[in-house]
Every structure is written in structure tokens, then in C-alpha cells.
Structure 1
Amino acid sequence: MGLLMLFFGLFFMGGWAAAVAALVHAVLALVRIWPRDWVRRRGHPAVRLMAPTPAYLRLDVALAVLAFLIDLWLVSVAIVFGSDGIFTEDWMGYPGMTDPSGQGYQAGVVSALHTTAWWTFGIAVLCRCWITAGVQVCVLPLAAWWIGSFDTYYT
């Protein structure tokens, strides 16, 4: 078993704990900035809208870390479930063909990752969380491309 597969397997099993810890941190950051200003008071209206206050920037960083951990967990779930007889990558070992209904699994995972990326990107942009939007636009589409490049038993 490859070292990369071991990483994804371990993150699949324990990544939810890291994501929950990041969620708690993001909620605490939101509670801390709640009474503070969310928009700058001086400058051009476009600059005030685009440039967040320092407190809001800390919330954005906390949300970006949370989004990254959840994205990594989603990719780990897809790889761990796909390694059970669907993907035939060398670093996964040879699991054997165990799931004959897995023909649409790879396409479904790629579609789900793209859909998740664009929905979360849109929500982050609407909430002016620019760092989180950047993370969502970079991590999930690249992971979808990577998973889409795997050889399967059915292609």
C-alpha cells in the first residue's frame, strides 16, 4: 500500500475530528467579531466592500482552513471508497474487482466535487470571504481533475 493511500485512509478515518475542531474555531472567531465592524467605515464604497476589516479577515482565514479540511476529507472519502475495486492506480495496490456497479462512480465523484466547489465558491463570494473562495476554487476542481485521471476497471 502506498504512503499516499495510507494518508488518505488515515484522513478519512480521523479527518472529521480535524474538521470539527476547525468548525469550532471558526464559530469562536465569528462570536468574537460579531460586535465589531464588518465593513470599513472610510474610503471609496468599492474598497470598503472589497477590503475586509482585520476581524473579518480572521474569520475568513478560519473559514478557509475549515473549507480546506472538509475538502480534503471529501477527497479522502472518494479515494477510500473508490479503492475498493474501482480504481486501479499503482499506488493503491491491487484491490481486485469487487464492485461491478461502480462504472459511474468516478464520473459521479468528479461531478460532485465540481458542484460542491462552485456552490461553496459562490457562497463564499456572496459573504465576501475571498480567501475561502480562493481555496474552494483551487482545491476541489484540482482534486476532481486528479480523480478523473485515475484508471478504472471500466474504462
Structure 2
Amino acid sequence: MGELIFGLFFMAGWAAALARLGYAALVLWRSRGEQWVRGQGQPFARLLLPAPAYLRFDRTLAVAVLLADLWLVSAVVVSGSEGVFTEEWLGYPGMMDPAGQGYQAGAVDLLRTAALWSASAAILGRCWTTAAVQLSVLPLSALWIASFDTYYN
């Protein structure tokens, strides 16, 4: 039953993340004629505080990235539900697969690496809200997945 629920979240998350990413591209396209950098103030303040059109894009991108992060976490959980995680968490885990021995560590490493690269790209693009989402959701998800009891611990 738990596998079915996570499978549904997986599919719905994929569709929602793609739809929201398309909407972020539409917001970017609509605001192409507007200013992306503030015209008044100190240069450092103009760099840190983008124009309202850019802030709208940043918020829209942050929601799209949040949905993609939730999709990635659900993909890790669904992929590891057969033979990796214990029966206390997801019911009967299936047969014990020795190839899944490094799955949990690999998944945690994947989430931390994704957080590092995506937050770095967001910071370079001055998308502060998106960077904050990436630095909060993915590392906390990595800690959550690292806390699972497996047959191999």
C-alpha cells in the first residue's frame, strides 16, 4: 500500500514539476520587456535586490524546483522500497538484494550533490528564493533518508 501511495506521488510530482517549470518559462517570456535590475541605488544593493519582474520569476522557479525536489525524493524512496528498506517502514520489503547495499549512501550523496549544484546555479543567477529552497529541502531530505533502517546497517 505504501508503495502505491509513493508511486502515485511520484507520477503526480513529475507532472506538477514539469507544468510548473513550463509556467516559470512563461513568466520569464512575459517579462522579457521589463527591467531585470533595479535602476536606482548603490550597485551592490541593485545586485542583491532584483527588479519585481525578476522576483516574480524567482518565486515561480522556486515552486517548480520544490516540486522537482519532492519528485526526486519520492523517486529515491520508491526505487529503494524493494529490497533496501526494512519492513517497519514500508511493509514487506521484498527479497534482500545485495546489490542494494550502497543504495542508501548513494541516494544521500545524490541529494546532497543535487543541492550543492542547484543552489550554486541559483546563487549565480541571483535567484535567492530558489537557492534557499534548494539548501533547505534537499539536505533535510538526505538526512531523512539517511535515518532509515536498512538490512545492511
Considering the TM-score relative to the shorter chain, is it more than 0.5? yes
**How many angstroms apart in 2 are the aligned matches of 1:75 and 1:136?**
13
> Do 2:13 and 2:71's aligned partners in 1 also have CA atoms closer than 8 Å?
yes
Q: Is it true that 1:32 corresponds to 2:19 in the alignment?
A: no
**How many angstroms apart in 1 are the aligned matches of 2:67 and 2:6?**
12
**How many angstroms apart in 2 are the aligned matches of 1:58 and 1:28?**
11
> Do 2:87 and 2:93's aligned partners in 1 also have CA atoms closer than 8 Å?
no
| SS state at 2:98 partner | coil
Q: Gaps spanning 5+ residues in structure 1: where? A: none
Give per-residue Cα distances to partners, 1:20-71, cap 9 Å, x unaligned: 1101100001101112111000001111110111110000011101100110
CA-atom RMSD in angstroms: 1.3
TM-score normalised to the size of structure 2?
0.95
Identity rate, percent = 61
> Do 1:117 and 1:137's aligned partners in 2 also have CA atoms closer than 8 Å?
yes
Residues 122-141 of structure 1: matches in 2 within 5 Å?
Answer: 122-141=120-139
Letter of the structure 2 residue corresponding to residue 26 of structure 1:
A
Inter-CA distance 116–89: structure 2 relative to 1 (3 Å threshold)? farther
TM-score normalised to the size of structure 1?
0.93
Letter of the structure 1 residue corresponding to residue 117 of structure 2:
W
Q: Is it true that 1:76 corresponds to 2:74 in the alignment?
A: yes
TM-superposed CA distance for 1:99, in Å, is 2.1
- Give structure 1 regions of 4+ aligned residues with deviation exceeding 3 angstroms: none
TM-superposed CA distance for 1:6, in Å, is 5.1
**How many angstroms apart in 2 are the aligned matches of 1:123 and 1:47?**
20
Number of residues paired by the alignment?
153
